[in-house]
Amino acid sequence: MTRPGQRPRGAAFGRGHLLRYLNGPFSIQLSTPLADVARLVTWSYGAAMDDSSTDDSPAHFNVTLRHRSLPRRLLAPQVMFQAEDSRPLAPFPRDHAFALLEWGVNWCIATRAHQYLMLHAGAVERDGRALILPAMPGSGKSTLTAALIARGWRLLSDEFGLLDHQSGRLHPLPRAIPLKNRSIDVIRRFWPDADIGPVFTRTRKGDVAHLRPPAASLIRQAEPADPAWILFPQYVSGSPVQIGRQPQSQVFTRLSQNAFNYNLLGAVGFRSLSALVRDCPCWSIRYGDLDAVIAAIGRLTGTDGS
């Protein structure tokens, strides 16, 4: 379990760093010579480092992040992600090492955690109930998720909605939220106290900076929530808030294609998804202004105190 202020469990050895930390239900053991990566991991997940010095249970994911090769190190340095004997991702420029690590962990989760139906979605929680925001083009999902947690919702996830087959509950996976380009400034203005990490420029997606997961979300990352609402957000600049109820068969169809592993899970995935669609009313919501959409969400979900 996690305790804030606890000294992170990691060790510097030789010229390398060995860290063990939690991302939601997954324990990660990271070995890397890159000091800046170790610092960013500690900054991001320090409140969730394993505190037991006697914890020698196997980590879920054993990953390394290291330089690609000596000659490359001089010309255009690159870093390589490895998970046990797999190298699933192309190398990244050295400056973007932390982003590569996060992608790599995503890959580990998506290829192994089939005890969950994995939605490609953000999720936030209030009063034990979860709001699910499926990722769609133009949704502004990450920006909206960041704005919601600025206004008091607990961060469950930005990337993966982990729906447990047996309990039907959503398991938290609070991670650093990558904000891109304009939304970095948008969130800075919307949430002046937001803890945003360094800006990585000239990535494939432009400028990327990570929003630190709030300590509360990490402390409570073993606490699942009951799915209650599904919202397909669509950001359109200047648009007033427009809400439409979604027919269940369409919701099922969209989510079956949105989920990473729906097809793989067969009958189990079908039953999990059916229960989710049955239990959660679903809307699409078009918006142009964060304050307006958050107020609308509060009214829709009955969490605005009214």
Partner 1 sequence: MHWRTVNPESLCWAQWDDANTLFHGETGETHLLGELPAAVVQLLSGAARSEASLCAELAALCETANDGPWRQRIAALLSQLETLELIEPLPADTP
Partner 2 sequence: MSTLCTVLGHPERIRALSPAGWDLLLREARSQQLCARLSHLLEQRGLLPECPPQAATELCAQRFFAEHTQARVRLCLRKLRRALAPTETPVVLLKGAAYAARGLAVARGRDFADLDILLPVDKLEAAETRLCASGWTARKTDPYDQRYYRRWMHELPPLVHTATGLELDVHHRLLPRTSRLKPPAAPLWRESVPLALSPYRTLSPRHMVLHSMAQLFHDGEVAGGLDNLLDIHQLLTELGIEEGFWPGLLEAAEGLHLERPLYYGLEMSRSLLGTAVPSDTLAEARRFRPPALTGSLMCALMRNALEPRYPRRRPAHVSAWLLYLRSHWLRMPPALLASHLTRKAVATLLAPASVQDTRGP
List interacting residues with partner 1 (CB under 8 A). Answer: 247-249, 252-253, 256, 262-263, 266-267, 270-271, 274, 277-278
Which of 305, 291, 304, 183 is closest to 241 using CA atoms? 291
Any idea what the Cα angle at residue 39 is, between residues 37 and 43, rounded to 5°? 115
Shorter beta-carbon distance to partner 2: residue 51 or 84? 84
**Residue 108 contact among partner 2, partner 1, none, beta carbon within 5 to 8 Å by kind:** none
**Residue 107 contact among partner 2, partner 1, none, beta carbon within 5 to 8 Å by kind:** partner 2
Supply the minimum distance, in Å, between the C-beta of residue 252 and partner 1. 5
Supply the minimum distance, in Å, between the C-beta of residue 267 and partner 1. 5
Tokens of residue 22, six digits: 């939690």
Tokens of residue 113, six digits: 């955690």
For residues 112 and 90, is the Cβ–Cβ distance under 8 A?
no
Shorter beta-carbon distance to partner 1: residue 273 or 290? 273
| Rounded-to-integer distance, Cα 15 and Cα 230, Å | 47
CB hemisphere CA count around 165 (13 angstroms): 14
| Rounded-to-integer distance, Cα 69 and Cα 283, Å | 50
The number of residues that bind partner 2 (CB under 8 A) is: 39
Q: Which position has the token pair 């990535």?
A: 203
User: Which residues ranging from 147 to 176 are in contact with partner 2 (CB under 8 A)?
Assistant: none
Q: Contact positions toward partner 2, by CB under 8 A?
A: 56-60, 62, 84-85, 88-89, 103, 106-107, 110-115, 120, 135-137, 204, 247, 249-250, 253-254, 256-258, 260-261, 263-266, 268
